[in-house]
Structure 1
Amino acid sequence: MTGARDFQNSPRVFVVGGDPDVLAFVMEEVGACGIQVEGVTIDRTSTIDEASFDLVAFGAGVGFELRRELEARFRRLNPNTRFLRTYAPYAASQIVAAVRVQNPPQPVELDTYLNRIGYAGPLEPTIDTLRTLQERHLASIPFEAIDVLLGRGVDITPDAVDAKLIGNRRGGYCYEQNGLFKRVLQRIGFEVEPLVAAVRWGAQPGSAPPPRAHMALRVTIEGVPWLVDVGFGSSVPPAPLRLDTRHPQPTRYGQYRIIPLGGGLLVQAEVAGSWVPLYDLSNEQLLDTQFELFNWYASTHDRSHFRHQLIVARTTPEARYSLLDGRFSVRFADGRTERHFLDVRGIEQVIQNHFVLHPEPSWAGAFEVAAGRSALDQVPLRGGGLRS
């Protein structure tokens, strides 16, 4: 048996993949970077020599049971072996980064986050833990894009997100919310991959979908893939949804289902007896850095709706709260609904009382504009009725 190696000085890498040509391509790129690399395809794992490796990379096609079997085998030879799940288009870069990064970013401060969401339960990477963490996150950290509305932009680097959502007890939108939740789940030991989706919620029927830009997460637990999202505003799925079934899945706030759509998946919610699309989800994971362009557009471009509307949402076990400009809506878990049109003072009060945020003096101008739109919505139209 070979003892633990100095990972930085003499890293040895082993790759397990599905397609022999793709495996050869990945190994050639990794080897060209001066890294010792060996590998086999899935059908030849029984031929792996009894050798010690510093890093073992698994392709996406390596199933849960085989991966666990191989992890145990490699750990017997070297207890310090690290394991990495890769996706073929990025595999070489993921492996090289894992070998070369000497000062990785500091992980999220888990205890501080758990205190932020008021959770003190088990931290095993199980579906029960995931459900509870998602519920507590949605109830504690509101969805909001007030910085975008004020023209400040949004920084989605981990340090900036942690300082804002945890330290300053603010909310955020999808890149901040799901980016933070991804890092928390990874710290606990969950297998998490960021996915991208095209938002169809509220779109006109028959209209072309926008480019995929919404961030969501795929969490795999004992081989079962789950959709997890804590950053989709007032319509966010309130619990993990299985990605491997098209059957309706009940939640506290109605049923959801996920059906195949082209090369991806369509996430739908049941509304008044009809299935309404939320978003069109890609099956392909993205790198964290690839969301930077989407965030730049959403937080700075004039066509982003976040630049022109006050949007705040929060989902608790008791009710969903949503604020669109000065229109405040409450949907209770028992099915009751309320709707209110707010003035500036009313907006300030619900921001503090229902969205657990502390209004800053610099937000006053945005609240005035939002209240003005709310007043316009109540102006009677010709022939009666109100603007909707």
Structure 2
Amino acid sequence: MSASKQVLLIGCAPSIVDTARQELRALNIQVYGCDNIEHCRSQFYDLVIFGVGLSASERTYVKGQFSTYQRDLRFETVTSPLVVWRIVEALMPAKSQTKLVNLNAYRDRIGYSGPLEPTIETLSALLRHHPAAISYENIDILLDRGIDISPGAVDGKLIHRRRGGYCYEQNALFKRVLMAIGFQVEGLVARVQWTAPADAPPRRRSHMALRVMLDDVAWLADVGFGSCVPTAPLRLDTTHAQETEHEAFRVLPFQGALAVQVRILDEWKPLYELASDVCLDHDYDPLNWFAASHPTSHFRDSLKVARTTAKARYTLLNGKLTTRTPDGRTERQVLNASEIADALRQIFVLPVEPNWLPILHKAASGFDKAQ
């Protein structure tokens, strides 16, 4: 095993140090915390992270102390939510680069020709284009193919074979796109509340979402929520309603987490409860396995497809096609298997395969497993 990397966090809260220590242990990165800058030079480090609360004079003092015996030491000043991400990026650049996406292929896939700079304008544009081009769908799960969320598998499926996918594929791809552009981004996990009865017990955390930092402001980015995907970045530091080209959304504090809500016909409905804990890529492996393979997973008992364009949100649940326009109009249709196939091709721009036909017949009959 290669020697572990040593990281020192100065001026960071103990909870941040503990979280970083736990998250990075599997990557052979040792994390240490130091509150007193007079006692921080106990060993050699590969990286020193300053908390944003540390003053400029304190940072200068620490750098001077270390420079007497470790002249090439790297120093970074990082906001708390990005500590883990920044450490991984700084100490494992080669590994990170191998996971990045072909941006030209991605641009072609989503039909985007604008600038690729880490700005709110770019983020907003990508959040409009991605859900319009890459549909949300769970067809491989219904075919018992399983879901491989490794970068090569996701890129091959969503970009090159022009398929869709669900949150662990969609947001995994989007995360690597944002990182390749230069955004600071972290993975999160959420407890879905959408369509759940008000008195239902809490569901397990099962949804992947992203937090993007721009000029010290945290934004929610999510291209994997199917029928109600936010088509704009949502600020996580305000409770005010935030308009998108479809519905308005808002983010409220809730029991140490953040409750994301959407306004449907003047009524606020819960979307999901967003945990603040940072997830590394491998944290999603067991969540993805459960969603794709466990017999009780709701992804295994019905066809779920969605696409959101500027004109409408299109949702297919088994044989029920719903079209919802930004002005609030809703149209519903019941489709047979042949019509489902046509909708997949024409509305959801998916390359329908011959071996999907048994699944489409089940979907048309309500996915009754007894048939």
1:92-142 deviations in Å (ceiling 9; x for gaps): xx55x8536755524210111011111111112111111111110010000
Of the three residues 300, 314, 323, the one matched with 2:293 is: 300
Could you say which residue in structure 1 is the equivalent of 2:91? 99
The alpha carbon displacement at 1:39 in A equals 6.3
In the alignment, which of 207, 225, 236 is matched to residue 229 of structure 2?
236
Query: Aligned equivalents of 2:17 and 2:339: distance in 1?
Result: 60
SS state at 1:184 partner: helix
Kindly indicate whether residue 365 of structure 2 is the aligned counterpart of residue 368 of structure 1. Answer: no
1:16-165 → structure 2 map (5 Å cutoff):
16-19=10-13, 29=30, 36=46, 42-43=54-55, 44-50=58-64, 51=67, 52-53=71-72, 55-58=74-77, 60-61=79-80, 85-87=82-84, 94=87, 99=91, 104=96, 105-165=98-158
For 1:323 and 1:367, locate their aligned partners in 2 and report how far apart those are by CA, in whole Å.
11
Could you tell me which residue of structure 1 aligns to residue 37 of structure 2? Answer: none
TM-score, length-scaled by structure 1: 0.80
Offset at 1:336? 2.2
**Aligned twin of 2:346:** 353
1:48 shift after superposition: 3.0
The CA distance in 1 between the partners of 2:219 and 2:270, in whole Å, is: 18
Please list every run of 5 or more consecutive structure 2 residues that lacks an aligned counterpart in the other structure.
33-41
Q: Which residue is 2:38 aligned to?
A: none
Q: Does 1:250 align with 2:243?
A: yes
Aligned partner of residue 122 in structure 2, secondary structure: helix
Deviations 1:30-56 (A, max 9, x none): 589985565666242131335454543
Q: Is the 8 A contact 1:23 1:39 kept in 2?
A: no
Cα distance change, pair 33–120 in 1 and its aligned pair in 2 (3 A):
farther
| Rounded Cα–Cα distance in structure 2 between residues aligned with 1:39 and 1:315 | 40
Contact 1:13 1:54 (C-alpha < 8 Å) held by counterparts: no
Structure 1 residues 22 and 287, CA gap change in structure 2 (3 angstroms): closer
Partner of 1:78: none
Pairing partner for 1:193 from 186, 209, 221: 186
Structure 1: which amino acid aligns with 2:325?
F
Q: Can you list the C-alpha shifts for 1:216-272, whole angstroms capped at 9, x where unaligned?
A: 011111111111110001111121111110011112222111111000010111122
Report the Cα offset of residue 333 of structure 1: 2.3
Distance in 2 (CA, whole Å) between partners of 1:288 and 1:54 is 27
Q: Are the aligned partners of 2:46 and 2:73 in contact in 1 as well (CA < 8 Å)?
A: no
The one-letter code of the counterpart of 2:113 is A
Q: Letter of the aligned partner of 2:63 in structure 1?
A: D
How far 1:61 moved relative to its partner?
3.3
Residue deviations 1:46-101 (CA, integer Å, cap 9, x gap) = 31335454543545439xxxxxxxxxxxxxxxxxxxxxx424xx99xx55x85367
In 2, Cα distance between equivalents of 1:38 and 1:332: 50
Task: Using structure 2 for the length normalisation, give the TM-score.
Answer: 0.83
Alpha-carbon distance change, 370 to 38 in structure 1, aligned in 2, over 3 angstroms: closer
Structure 1, unpaired ranges of 5+? 1-7, 63-84, 376-388
Call closer, same or farther: CA 1:245–1:367 in 2, change over 3 Å. Answer: same
Q: Which has the larger radius of gyration?
A: 1
- Alpha carbons of structure 1 residues 208 and 60: separation in structure 2 relative to 1, 3 Å: farther
Pair 1:328-2:321 in alignment: yes
Call closer, same or farther: CA 1:209–1:12 in 2, change over 3 Å. Answer: closer
Q: 1:341 aligns with which of 328, 334, 339?
A: 334
Tell me which residue corresponds to 2:35: none
Further displaced range: 140-149 or 248-257: 248-257
State whether residues 15 and 57 of structure 1, in contact with CA within 8 Å, keep that contact through their aligned partners in structure 2: no
Alignment of 1:151-230 (within 5 A): 151-230=144-223
Q: Hey, which bits of structure 1, 4+ residues long, moved more than 4 A? A: 11-16, 20-28, 30-41, 100-104
Residues 326, 373 of structure 1: 8 Å contact kept: yes
Code of the aligned partner of 1:159:
G
Q: Is the 8 A contact 2:146 2:293 kept in 1?
A: yes
Query: Residue 86 of structure 1 aligns to which amino acid in structure 2?
Result: V
Q: Partner amino acid for 1:29?
A: Q
How has the CA–CA distance of structure 1 residues 200 and 13 changed in structure 2, closer, same or farther, with 3 Å as cutoff? closer
- In 2, the alpha carbon distance for the partners of 1:19 and 1:254 equals 37
1:34–1:314 CA distance, 2 compared to 1 (3 A): same
How many residues are aligned here? 340
Of the structure 1 ranges 282-291 and 25-34, higher mean CA displacement relative to structure 2 is found in 25-34
Q: Provide the C-alpha distance between the structure 2 equivalents of 1:355 and 1:46, rounded to a whole number of angstroms.
A: 56
Q: Give, in whole Å, the separation in 2 of the partners of 1:209 and 1:192.
A: 27
- CA-based RMSD of the aligned residues comes to 3.0
Instruction: Please give the alpha-carbon distance, in whole angstroms, between the structure 2 residues aligned to 1:106 and 1:371.
Output: 39
Residue 263 of structure 2: which of 253, 256, 270 is its match? 270
Query: How many Å separate the matches in 1 of 2:31 and 2:111?
Result: 44
Residues 186 and 38 of structure 1: is their aligned pair in 2 closer, same or farther, counting only changes over 3 Å? Answer: closer
Matches of 1:40 and 1:55, distance apart in 2: 11
Rounded to whole Å, the distance in 1 between the matches of 2:266 and 2:16 is: 46
Letter in 1 for 2:91: V
